[in-house]
Amino acid sequence: MSNSTHAEDRGPEDRASEDMLSKLLDSPSPGPRLSEIGRVAEIADGIAIVSGLEHALSEELLRFASGVQGIVLDLEPGRLGVVLLGPSAGVSIGESVMRTRNVVSTKVGAALLGRVVDALGNPCDEQGAITVEEVRPVEAEAPKILDRQAITRPLATGFKVVDAAVPVGLGQRQLIIGDRQTGKTSLAVDAILNQKSSDVICIYCAIGQRGDAVAKAIGAITEGGMMKRTIIVAAGDEDAAALAYVAPYAALTMAEYFADQSRDVLVILDDLTHHARSYRELALLLRRPPGREAFPGDIFYIHARLLERAGQFTEAAGGGSITVLPVVETQAENLSGYIPTNLISITDGQIYLSPRLVRKNQFPAVDLGKSVSRVGGKAQSKAFRSVAGNLRVTLSQFEELEDFARFGTRLDEATRKRLTRGAAVRTSLRQAERDPMTAIEQLAVLVSAMEGHFDGLSEAETMRVMAALRSRVARELGDIAERIGGNDALSDQDRNRMLKLGSAARKNLEGHDGANS
C-alpha cells in the first residue's frame, strides 16, 4: 500500500531523473585517459630539458607549472629539448610539465588588422583583447605545384628604380639585402605605404629588432594611413629567442588566412638574419651539432619551408597571393656569406642596397648591377617594360665610363655627353624617404631623364625640376595614367607629352634662376 502511494506521489521531474540515471548506469563507462607529467631536469637561457614525457611529439606545445609554455624541438630517449616561449627565470628545476596535445598556434583573422601582436597573436599595443574566430598552427605545408599559377600582376613599390628595373610581382619572393644602415627597412616600409591606393593587406614582422626601431616603423605606417590594413608582428630583441624563431611562421599563417579569401597580402620579414641567429642560439643551447659558422645543419630548411608558402594561388586554392619581401643583412658587402647565399638561392631575386651608393648620398641605394628580378619582369606593365631596358644599359655604361674617367684620361665629346647623361639619369633615380610615386610620375621622370632634360643640372636643380614635373603630371596626364593602369603601352604621343612637360619644367627652373640673378 505504501509503495503504491509513494509511486503515485512522484512527479514528472522525478521520473525523468530516474530515467536519466538508468541510462547512465546502463551505458558503458568511459575509458581511462592517460595523462603524463614530466619534470624539468635542466634549465638554461631560453630552453629547458624535460624528462618523463615519453609520448610527447615534435613541435608539441607543453605547459609548465609556472605558466610558461614551450615547444618540443628535440626528441631524445629519456629527455626532451624544449624552447621556452616566455622568460626562463620563472622556470625552476623539478617543476612539473604537462602535455597540451596541441602544436604552437597563432590567432588569425580581420580582428588583427591595425594591431601590434606577438608571435602567438596576443596584443602588445594596450588596445584591449583580440577576439578571433580561428586559431591556426604556425607550421603549415607549402601549397602544391598544381595549386599555384604564374605571377602576372605587378606589386607597385613606389620607387622608380625598383618598379622600372627590379620589378616585383604579386606572389613573388624578392630579397632585400645590404649592409647595416643602407635603408633596407625604409624600403620595405615605403613599399607598405605605397599600397594605400590598392587593396593589398600588409603584415610587417619585426624579428629581433630594437624597440625604438619597431616603434619608428609603426609610426611611419600609422602616419602614412596604412595601419588599418596592416598587422605588426613584433618579436623584439628583449623577447624570448623562441618567439623570434616562431614569428615569421606566424606572419605567414596570418597571411594565408587572407589569401584563402582571395586577398593579396604583402609580408615583410625584417629580418631573417636575426631569425637565423635566434635559431642558432636555441640549437647551441640544446647541444645540437654545430655546422658552418656554428649554425645547425637544418638552417637552410627553416627558411626554405617558410618562404615556399608564398606564391600566386589558383582559384581552387583560394585565389589570393602572398608576396614576401624578406630582409637580410650582409657584412662588409659580402654577398657570399652563409645566410645571404642560402636566401638568394631560395628567393626569386634580390634588391641589393650598396653602402657605396649610400656614401654618394644616393637613396634608395639600389645597385642595379647586383640586383635582379627573376619573375617580376613577366608581371611588369608594358609601359615600364619599354623604359626599363634602356635604363639598365645607360646606367651600366655610365658606371664603366665613370671608373675609366677617374684615371684622368682625356675624353672625347661623345664620351663626355654619355657621362653627363648617365649622371643625370642616376640622380633622377633619387627619391626621398616616405615619398612613394605613382606610375605616371615615375614614367614621366624617367622618360625626361633618358631624353636629356636633366643633363648638366646639379643635384639640387634636378630634384627641383622633378618636383615641378610631378606636380604638372598629376594635373595634366590623368588620361595616360588610366591607360597605364589598364596595362597599355606608352605610345609615341604619350612620350611626347611627357617630354613636353619635362622641357617646360626645366625652362621654368632656368627662367626662375635667371630672374633671381
Q: What are the catalytic residues? A: 374
To the question of whether residue 5 is assigned a binding role by annotation, the answer is no
Four-CA torsion 335, 336, 340, 343, nearest 10 degrees: 110
Name the nearest CA neighbour of 252 among 125, 91, 138, 163: 138
DSSP secondary structure, 156-179, as one string: --S-HHHHHHS-EETT-B-EEEE-
To the question of whether residue 216 is assigned a binding role by annotation, the answer is no
To the question of whether residue 420 is assigned a binding role by annotation, the answer is no
Angle (deg, nearest 10), helices 272-285 and 299-307: 140
To the question of whether residue 179 is assigned a binding role by annotation, the answer is yes
To the question of whether residue 183 is assigned a binding role by annotation, the answer is yes
Q: Determine contact, residues 179/328, Cβ cutoff 8 Å.
A: no
End-to-end CA gap in the chain: 127
Alpha-carbon distance of 209 to 495, in angstroms, equals 45
Name the nearest CA neighbour of 271 among 217, 215, 208, 227: 208
To the question of whether residue 378 is assigned a binding role by annotation, the answer is no
To the question of whether residue 180 is assigned a binding role by annotation, the answer is yes
Q: Determine contact, residues 340/171, Cβ cutoff 8 Å.
A: no
To the question of whether residue 341 is assigned a binding role by annotation, the answer is no
Give Rg (Cα) of the chain.
30
Could you tell me the CA-to-CA distances from 431 to 164, 363, 459 in Å, in that order? 14, 6, 12
Three-class DSSP category at 108:
strand
Q: Which residues are annotated as a binding site?
A: 178-185
Q: Which residues are annotated as a binding site for ATP?
A: 178-185
